[in-house]
Structure 1
Amino acid sequence: MIASTVKAVLFDLDGTLIDSEYFYYSNWAPILSDEFDLHITFDDWLKNFAGHTLVRNVGFLKDQFGIETTEEFMWTATRANYAKSDMTTIRLMPFAKETLENLRQKGLRMALVTSSYTTTVDTVLGHHELLDYFEFFITRELVENPKPNPEPYELATQKLGLTKEQIIAVEDTITGFTSATAAGLTCVAVSKHTTERQRLAVAKYLIEDLSNLLQLIV
């Protein structure tokens, strides 16, 4: 059990609160196939792309597959596909809303720390009526160095005005885990995917879904 002095929980978004990875995969895969003749499966996406920034994924495409593209092109192409898709179809992760409600009832403060942009947060969490659970949102626009850099969590810690011992982070990827722990926070890792769980084996707290979170901190 984590120390009972915890007063705030910082949540990641994609893969932690919302089940968005298949949405991203289904919008990236046609671009990779049509533009670069690269065909990836959903398992490939989870293993090699999920949880990473656009900058990293563009670099990965070049390093691993020799694909010469730019952040600007991939940004424009993926956003065009997102716009044609319906982000409100993205489901919540199991026990997400129940966990947020339970934490609020216990009096814990909550905020969101994500590499996604404000539009995604507003669209998906707004659709599921979850925006009011959070005190503030640290989105991609607000930081110069996204995860795995500690900057997003350092900014969130400053905004909370609490000690690091009073805050925990909840993340589903090694990218986010690295960011939170580098900022000096205790991080609960939550994932059911075998590949990511292997990467997250370094985590002291590793759970399969959010139903196990409450018992760790309350």
Structure 2
Amino acid sequence: MIRTVIFDMDGVIVDTEPVHRYAFYRHFEELGIHVSDEEYATFTGCSTKNVYQQLKDKHGLAPDVDTLMLSKREFFNRAFDEKADLDLLDGVRTLIEDLHQHGIQLILASSASKATIDRVMRRFALGPYFTHLISGEDFPRSKPDPAIFEHAASLSVAPKQECLVIEDSANGVAAAKAAGVYCIGYNSEHSKLQDLSLADQVINHFAELNAEKIAAIDSVAAAK
């Protein structure tokens, strides 16, 4: 039985990926570096801190990682505030409300910065549904490292065997499985080039899920 659902944010709850992509590429242009679509796809699920550490090492960038992050965040914040059509992904609010109404604990575990998580929570009034908001910036390594999901499971009201992760990225699914947590892969049209084959099951729309179906999942049996 599942008693806690751990949500990723970008590509699962809200499609901020176009805003992130815009901010990253504006900053890459300012820095004078080239990042291919294939390389950019590997960043999905990674924290901004880890992305810039990789780029700093690869390109020998002079600014420190914190400075690079702040510059990118300025591009992101302006674009986020100006994007009037930014909305939650179809069906996810209904699922969140249904899970909450049925007493299933909700935890957010996102590679996004605390500032971005707070921005999304405020804009869409989602804060009251989640008992904990966990940012990848608090961990030295990004997904697929399992640390963020191990920490999320430690905050659950239930044992890890009664937790479930919803993820849209290859890195995120790998992290969830490495943490020993049952994982549903969300095949998001907004998250390109992602291999979800390690997930315990894959959905294409949140209408495929509800509190009753999730609570009934036998994650222990699935792990055998």
Q: TM-score, normalised by structure 1?
A: 0.83
Paired AA for residue 54 in structure 1: T
Give the match for residue 67 of structure 1.
59
| Residues 129-179 of structure 1 deviation map (CA, whole Å, 9 limit, x = unaligned) | 111110111123543444222221122222224212211011111111122
Give unpaired runs (5+ residues) of structure 1. none
User: For residues 94 and 154 of structure 1, do their structure 2 counterparts lie closer, same or farther at Cα, with a shift above 3 Å needed?
Assistant: same
CA distance in 2, matches of 1:14, 1:169: 14
| Residues 190-216 of structure 1 deviation map (CA, whole Å, 9 limit, x = unaligned) | 0234521xx112222011122223274
Q: Helix, strand or coil for the counterpart of 1:18? A: coil
5 Å-filtered alignment, 1:51-90, equals 51-58=45-52, 60-61=54-55, 67-69=59-61, 70-87=64-81, 89=83, 90=86
Q: Helix, strand or coil for the counterpart of 2:103? A: coil
Give the match for residue 183 of structure 1.
179
Query: For the Cα contact (< 8 Å) 1:154–1:183, is it kept in 2?
Result: yes
Q: Helix, strand or coil for the counterpart of 1:32? A: helix
1:94 to 87, 90, 102: 90
Paired AA for residue 94 in structure 1: D
Query: For the Cα contact (< 8 Å) 1:9–1:109, is it kept in 2?
Result: yes
**How far does residue 39 in structure 1 lie from its aligned partner after superposition?**
6.4
User: For residues 45 and 125 of structure 1, do their structure 2 counterparts lie closer, same or farther at Cα, with a shift above 3 Å needed?
Assistant: farther
What do you get for the CA RMSD once the two structures are aligned? 2.4
**How far does residue 76 in structure 1 lie from its aligned partner after superposition?**
2.6
Paired AA for residue 129 in structure 2: Y
Query: For the Cα contact (< 8 Å) 2:45–2:142, is it kept in 1?
Result: no
User: For residues 34 and 210 of structure 1, do their structure 2 counterparts lie closer, same or farther at Cα, with a shift above 3 Å needed?
Assistant: same
Paired AA for residue 217 in structure 1: I
Query: For the Cα contact (< 8 Å) 1:88–1:123, is it kept in 2?
Result: no
Q: Helix, strand or coil for the counterpart of 1:38? A: coil
Comparing both structures, which one devotes a greater share of its residues to helix? Answer: 1
Give unpaired runs (5+ residues) of structure 2. 216-224
**How far does residue 44 in structure 1 lie from its aligned partner after superposition?**
4.8
Give the match for residue 123 of structure 1.
119
Q: TM-score, normalised by structure 2?
A: 0.81
CA distance in 1, matches of 2:132, 2:5: 12
2:42 to 22, 44, 48: 48
Asked if residue 11 in structure 1 is aligned to residue 3 in structure 2, the reply is: no
Report how many residues are paired.
208
